[in-house]
Amino acid sequence: MPTSVEFDAVVYGATGYTGRLVAEHLLKTYGVGGAVRWAMAGRSAEKLAEVRDLIGAPAATPLIVADAHDAFALEAMTRRTKVVITTAGPYQLYGSDLVAACARTGTDYVDLTGESNWIASMMAAHQAQARETGARLVFSCGFDSIPFDMGVWYVERLAKERLGAPAPRVRGRVRAMLGGLSGGTMASGMVTMAAVQKDPSIGALLANPFALTPGFTGPAQPDGDKTYQDTVTGSWVASFMMAGINTKAVHRTNFLLGHPWGQDFQYDEMMMIPGPPKAGERPGGGFDFGGANPPKPGEGPTKEEREAGFYDLLFIAEGADGRTVRASVKGDMDPGYGSTSKMLAEAGLALAFDVPRERTPGGCWSSAAAMGDALLTRLPAKAGITFHDEG
């Protein structure tokens, strides 16, 4: 980390839909020029000023201009802050130079990417240098994948206390959820699909739950693509569109922590549904895809839609003797934007203020492995995300 910095956090991509929400959260929660020193950054000074005024931030709010492909400007920006909080995606197109700059300068980094193929490439490219410089590079700090990664981490802690040992199997279940998609999310999905068409090996990576545990492959995992009546969960379950992203994060956390849940750990992630689906019906995962008019980049759910959204996730840890422990993670806004913007901001501040380097040294991390206890404290206090022991 740079030895002397102006800021605790820089929000990069602040002129985008989610970046604006991150800046708005920091403004409402911490003000400007107070205990948390933060700045807004992006490629256009004019647009940064527009967003500053739109969210009601004071004119003195620091603004930093840096294009996503200007290595000199990005490195200069990273040297000014403890952590960069970036929402500038699709990351495959706009994120690589910023990760490289953070790795060079020893600056901590958090993003909200669900682009697993890009994460794998960043790990391969920057793990060694990040270890040397002390940069903590933490990927997927939004709804991809903090609530799921932390949900497993939390229920495994309860299992160890209650069952006397970690559980070799955890079921992640989306009990209820309401939210919409932004144009940026749609663009990331389209870029990933295009990458698969160009390079079929990426498709294999996306299908591999151990794609982010280099050198380690665990056992076969439960089939999350079929619909069935799950007697352990107590409901019918169906595939969940984000499971392929989140399961990789969960297995990486187990890997990074030295396999506390065992090298034979199994995890699946599915939606709970009221009964068997009708012929031709495929549950949508609780997201509104925008129908015939999908959102464009910079567009997303309205303030009213974000505030009406929510999610309720259930985690069931199964001991080797068949006993179970249940826990839930709940969010008070729509998952992809209202809640994501708050948890991403707080993840960045957790690195800046709460997580000592002796505990989490430089390198490429998952959220729970890097910040477990800090997030368990920060998210309920500042981000409207709660963890419940359900017995």
Are 150 and 285 in a shared domain? yes
Measure the CA–CA gap between 166 and 253, rounded to whole angstroms: 14
Selection from 305, 299, 339, 303 nearest residue 184 by Cα: 299
Q: Indicate the pLDDT class of residue 63, thresholds 50, 70 and 90.
A: very high
Coil, helix or strand at residue 237:
strand
**Cα 254 to Cα 47, 150, 161, 258, distances in angstroms:** 41, 11, 18, 6
Residue identified by tokens 């030295």 is 258
Selection from 164, 177, 170, 129 nearest residue 152 by Cα: 170
pLDDT score, position 289: 46
Q: Are 370 and 360 in contact (CB under 8 A)?
A: yes
379: alpha, beta or left, given left = phi > 0 and alpha = psi -120 to 50?
A: alpha
> How many other C-beta atoms can be found within 10 angstroms of the C-beta atom of residue 315?
29
Residue 56, pLDDT > 60, answer yes
Q: Indicate the pLDDT class of residue 300, thresholds 50, 70 and 90.
A: confident
Are 306 and 359 in a shared domain? no
Higher pLDDT, 221 or 291: 221
Residue 286, pLDDT > 80, answer no
Residue 182, pLDDT > 70, answer no
Residue 142 DSSP symbol: B
Are 233 and 322 in a shared domain? yes
Residue 313, pLDDT > 60, answer yes
**Residue 380 covered by a domain:** no
Measure the CA–CA gap between 12 and 383, rounded to whole angstroms: 20
Averaged pLDDT, 258-265: 98
Number of domain units in the chain:
2
Are 130 and 181 in a shared domain? no
pLDDT score, position 277: 82
pLDDT score, position 2: 54
pLDDT score, position 297: 64
**Residue 389 covered by a domain:** no
Q: Indicate the pLDDT class of residue 152, thresholds 50, 70 and 90.
A: very high
**Residue 385 covered by a domain:** no
Of 55-59, 206-210, 277-281, 313-317, the poorest mean pLDDT is in: 277-281
pTM metric for this prediction: 0.94
Measure the CA–CA gap between 205 and 212, rounded to whole angstroms: 9
Measure the CA–CA gap between 282 and 354, rounded to whole angstroms: 42
Are 166 and 253 in a shared domain? yes
**Residue 112 covered by a domain:** yes
Are 51 and 182 in a shared domain? no
Averaged pLDDT, 217-230: 95
Selection from 192, 182, 196, 175 nearest residue 240 by Cα: 175
**Residue 323 covered by a domain:** yes
Are 155 and 123 in a shared domain? no
**Residue 183 covered by a domain:** yes
Length of the chain: 391
To the nearest 10 degrees (0 to 180), the angle between helices 146-163 and 243-256 is 50
pLDDT digits (tens, 9 = 90+) for 354-368: 999 999 999 999 999
Residue 95, domain CATH:
3.40.50.720
pLDDT digits (tens, 9 = 90+) for 164-181: 999 999 999 999 999 876
Are 135 and 151 in a shared domain? no
Q: Indicate the pLDDT class of residue 196, thresholds 50, 70 and 90.
A: confident
**Residue 388 covered by a domain:** no
Preceding peptide of 90 cis, ω within 30°:
yes
Are 58 and 125 in a shared domain? yes
Q: How many secondary structure helices (H) and strands (E) does the chain include? A: 13, 15
pLDDT score, position 306: 94
Averaged pLDDT, 144-153: 97
Are 180 and 285 in a shared domain? yes
**Residue 36 covered by a domain:** yes
Are 98 and 86 in a shared domain? yes
DSSP-assigned beta bridge partners for residue 38: 9
pLDDT digits (tens, 9 = 90+) for 92-129: 999 999 999 999 999 999 999 999 999 999 999 999 99
Measure the CA–CA gap between 106 and 364, rounded to whole angstroms: 12
Q: Indicate the pLDDT class of residue 292, thresholds 50, 70 and 90.
A: low
Coil, helix or strand at residue 95:
coil
Over the Cα atoms of the chain, what is R_g? 20
Averaged pLDDT, 330-334: 97
Q: Are 155 and 260 in contact (CB under 8 A)?
A: no
pLDDT score, position 188: 73
Residue ranges making up the domain that contains 189: 146-333
Q: Are 66 and 77 in contact (CB under 8 A)?
A: yes
Selection from 222, 295, 234, 238 nearest residue 270 by Cα: 238
Structure tokens at 114: 């669900």
> How many other C-beta atoms can be found within 10 angstroms of the C-beta atom of residue 335?
26
Residue 155, pLDDT > 70, answer yes
pLDDT score, position 284: 53
Are 159 and 219 in a shared domain? yes
Percent of the chain as helix, strand, coil, to the nearest 5: 40, 20, 35
Give the percent of the chain with pLDDT over 90.
Answer: 86
Residue 161: what are its φ and ψ, rounded to 5°?
Answer: -70, -45
Measure the CA–CA gap between 315 and 156, rounded to whole angstroms: 9
Structure tokens at 354: 């709460």
**At which of 314, 333, 352 does a domain end?**
333
Measure the CA–CA gap between 149 and 43, rounded to whole angstroms: 32
